[in-house]
Amino acid sequence: MNRDAMLQALTTRSEPWDILVIGGGATGLGIAVDAAARGYRTALVEQNDFAKGTSSRSTKLIHGGVRYLQQGNVGLVLEALRERGLLTQNAPHLVNHLSFIVPNYTWWEAPFYGVGLKIYDLLAGKLGLGPSEHLSREETLRRLPTLEPNGLKGGTIYYDGQFDDARLAICLAQTAADSGAVLINYMPVVSLVKKNDLVRGVAVKELESGQEHELNARVVVNATGVFSDSVRRMDEADAEPMIAPSQGIHLVLDKSFLPGDSAVMVPKTDDGRVLFAIPWHGRVLIGTTDTPVSEAQLEPRPLPEEIEFLLTHAARYLTKDPKPGDVLSAFAGLRPLRKMGEMKDTASLPRDHSVSISKSGLVSISGGKWTTYRKMAEDAVNQAALVAGLAERPCPTANLRLHGWRNGEGKPRPARGAGEVWEGYGTDAAFLQALIKEHPGLNELLHPKLPYRGAEVVWAVRHEMARTVEDVLSRRTRALLLDARASVAIARKVARLAAKELGRDPKWEAEQVESFRELAAGYVLG
The residues binding ligand FAD (CB under 6 A) are 22-28, 45-48, 52-55, 57-61, 188-189, 223-227, 231, 248, 288, 298, 333-336, 368-371
CB-nearer residue toward ligand FAD: 235 or 509: 235
Min dist CB 361 to ligand FAD, Å, is: 18
Min dist CB 170 to ligand FAD, Å, is: 13
CB-nearer residue toward ligand FAD: 48 or 88: 48
In angstroms, what CA-CA distances link 240 with 29, 233, 358, 360, 363?
26, 9, 12, 15, 15
CB-nearer residue toward ligand FAD: 116 or 188: 188
CB-nearer residue toward ligand FAD: 114 or 292: 292
| Rg from Cα positions in the chain | 22
Min dist CB 30 to ligand FAD, Å, is: 8
User: 42 by DSSP, 3-state: which?
Assistant: strand
CB-nearer residue toward ligand FAD: 22 or 91: 22
Asked if 63 contacts 84 with a C-beta cutoff of 8 angstroms, the reply is yes
CB-nearer residue toward ligand FAD: 138 or 299: 299
CB-nearer residue toward ligand FAD: 172 or 442: 172
Min dist CB 38 to ligand FAD, Å, is: 20
CB-nearer residue toward ligand FAD: 369 or 447: 369
CB-nearer residue toward ligand FAD: 234 or 387: 234
Min dist CB 222 to ligand FAD, Å, is: 9
Alpha helices in 13-127 (DSSP H): 26-37, 66-70, 74-90, 109-124
| Residue with nearest beta carbon to ligand FAD | 25
Min dist CB 172 to ligand FAD, Å, is: 10
CB-nearer residue toward ligand FAD: 46 or 509: 46
DSSP state letter for 489: H
Phi and psi, residue 231, nearest 5°: -75, -35
Min dist CB 379 to ligand FAD, Å, is: 13
Asked if 271 contacts 365 with a C-beta cutoff of 8 angstroms, the reply is no
Min dist CB 182 to ligand FAD, Å, is: 14
CB-nearer residue toward ligand FAD: 353 or 447: 353
Min dist CB 465 to ligand FAD, Å, is: 13
CA distance 249 to 391: 43
DSSP state letter for 266: E
Asked if 195 contacts 185 with a C-beta cutoff of 8 angstroms, the reply is no
Min dist CB 142 to ligand FAD, Å, is: 27
Asked if 355 contacts 364 with a C-beta cutoff of 8 angstroms, the reply is yes
CA distance 312 to 263: 18
Asked if 173 contacts 183 with a C-beta cutoff of 8 angstroms, the reply is yes
Q: Minimal CA–CA distance to 189: which of 237, 221, 144?
A: 221
Q: 295: alpha, beta or left, given left = phi > 0 and alpha = psi -120 to 50?
A: beta
| Sequence-ordered list of residues with C-beta below 8 angstroms from that of 186, at least 6 positions apart, any chain | 46, 47, 48, 49, 206, 207, 208, 467
- In DSSP terms, which residues pair with 285 in a beta bridge? 252, 278
For the stretch 303-311, contacts whose Cβ atoms lie closer than 8 Å and that sit 24 or more positions apart, written own/partner, are: 303/247, 303/249, 306/247, 306/249, 306/332, 307/249, 307/251, 307/525, 310/249, 310/250, 310/251, 310/275, 310/286, 311/251
Min dist CB 165 to ligand FAD, Å, is: 7
CB-nearer residue toward ligand FAD: 333 or 426: 333
Which helix (H) or strand (E) is 487 found in, with range?
Answer: helix 484-489
Min dist CB 226 to ligand FAD, Å, is: 6
Q: Minimal CA–CA distance to 402: which of 162, 177, 166?
A: 177
> What's the angle, vertex CA 449, arms to CA 443 and CA 452, rounded to 5?
35
CA atoms within 13 A of residue 489's CA, in its CB half-sphere: 11
